[in-house]
A and B are shown apart, each in its own frame.
Chain A
């Protein structure tokens, strides 16, 4: 789901303030002042006190610098103290998501709660159903003992008044692969790296904004500042992510100091061509199904959770991989930066030498603001694209299917679309690996709505889809 709420706004505000501080003359001092500026004396606070708010803001700023919560060496170190290491490092931070333990409220200790609808009935089916003797009667109503409850849910099923409800833990409910669970000692969430697919769903769903990735924004700003040749590669989902025209957005990126801006939609055209050929070959060879390969969170899920589907996953390189090849051939020794809506692309980039850094649209926006670039005011003449309409279409659910249908002639395509990876859809993929699939072409996108619904976007996919459709109309048709 896409939200604009106080948690998502806070996340963006942190990025903007860190980008602003980096662009300020006195970077270190500006960085150190962020918690004080956001929570000045006498300000309203959201946690127990002003000081805890400030402490958590510090950890958020560290994440925006690409330093994880667990990398804190000394609590006395200020935000600015980390900048030196960030500026010195040659490779970006790893792609792991981490829980800011201080910010996690360890919510929902017991997933079941007896509501006021409890009649305190004679039957007490809930008590009989409970295998752990966790239900006591207090003042004529049932109460669950949190220390004894094992969250089995039998009491809820047993209550004839439906008086017992299930309360999900938002991050755990959002995770399609069960990678985020509570530490049994503290109740705080922790992420299992052996399962995490970097889809970012937990990050979007946590109402306390306790989960964050490690940004590469400051690494990129630093490379540009040091005068390196840096090339931006923008994902097709950029349509609608910023005000102004396509041309104005590209010109704004150049104004940031990027030497050139390339469209990953051009790489998507190559993916279409290759994947259509591969599909025909596979069908001729008698394969029951082929799945797409462009969504990196899905690819992580294939590796970590559903390895049995791997033989059916397309081996065609992703649009980002094709674009990386093109750019590295055109600009020798250049630093390449993929800009998209995705956190899992950081994981894909870490295994691809042609992609040096990955930014989100949120981070790109923060950079514009830091460098005081108002996209609407930037003068830009051209509003053209080198990619086909179908290449742009990769950004939305159903888009890859459309492209392959247009490109693969003389073959019958029966598409199955997975629009957002959930626990249910993982089961569907496991079935497909056993040959039980309603179609022969599966398009898998981990985010609902496709890349337009990614965790690093600025705009509700409902709005950006309109912009994407306009872009597709203007792009050349094949």
Chain B
């Protein structure tokens, strides 16, 4: 099975608005089982804030789904949803 690709945006806005801690947080707090099924990486700016929606940073891509104002809980829920198909 292909692993779900998680891309955490670390453009300056996303980094400051909470993206900075997301990599460690996901690796530390997601269950071992989920971690074997995903591939977490940092991404250059995804360009989502250019419209002025700074309040919706940080952005995280889970597969093809873009999550705004991303939190650990939102990302975890999306991973589980995609694994269930």
B52 at the interface (CB under 8 A from A): yes
Residues of B within 8 A of A12 (CB): 16-17
Residues of A within 8 A of B44 (CB): 374, 376-377
Query: What CA separation (Å) do A240 and B16 show in the bound complex?
Result: 11
Whether B12 contacts A243 by the Cβ 8 Å rule is yes
A173 at the interface (CB under 8 A from B): no
Give which listed residue, B12, B24, B25, contacts A374 with CB less than 8 A. Answer: B12
* Contacts of A228-246 to chain B: CB distance below 8 A: 240, 242-243
B24-37 interface bits toward A, Cβ cutoff 8 Å, 1 = contact, 0 = none: 11000000000000
Residues of B within 8 A of A458 (CB): 15-16, 20
CB distance from B67 to the nearest CB of A (A): 15
A240: nearest chain-B partner, CB-CB:
B20
Whether B21 contacts A243 by the Cβ 8 Å rule is no
Residues of A within 8 A of B66 (CB): none
Residues of B within 8 A of A365 (CB): 12, 15-16
* Contacts of A434-477 to chain B: CB distance below 8 A: 458-460, 462-463, 466
Query: What CA separation (Å) do A365 and B44 show in the bound complex?
Result: 16
Residues of A within 8 A of B12 (CB): 242-243, 365, 368-369, 373-376
A16: nearest chain-B partner, CB-CB:
B54
A362-394 interface bits toward B, Cβ cutoff 8 Å, 1 = contact, 0 = none: 100110110001111100000000000000000
B38 at the interface (CB under 8 A from A): no
A38 at the interface (CB under 8 A from B): yes
A17 at the interface (CB under 8 A from B): yes
Of A243, A362, A459, which is in contact with the most chain B CB atoms at under 10 Å from its CB? A243
Query: What CA separation (Å) do A242 and B18 show in the bound complex?
Result: 11
Whether B17 contacts A13 by the Cβ 8 Å rule is yes
Residues of A within 8 A of B55 (CB): 9-10, 13, 38
A3-29 interface bits toward B, Cβ cutoff 8 Å, 1 = contact, 0 = none: 010000110110011001000000000
A interface residues with partner B (beta carbon < 8 Å) = 4, 9-10, 12-13, 16-17, 20, 37-38, 240, 242-243, 362, 365-366, 368-369, 373-377, 458-460, 462-463, 466
Q: Can you offer 10 A-B residue contacts whose CB atoms are under 8 A?
A: A9-B17, A9-B55, A243-B15, A362-B16, A365-B12, A365-B16, A369-B49, A375-B12, A376-B11, A377-B45
Further contacts, 7 of them, CB under 8 A, given A13-B17, A459-B20: A9-B17, A9-B69, A20-B52, A37-B52, A374-B12, A376-B44, A458-B15
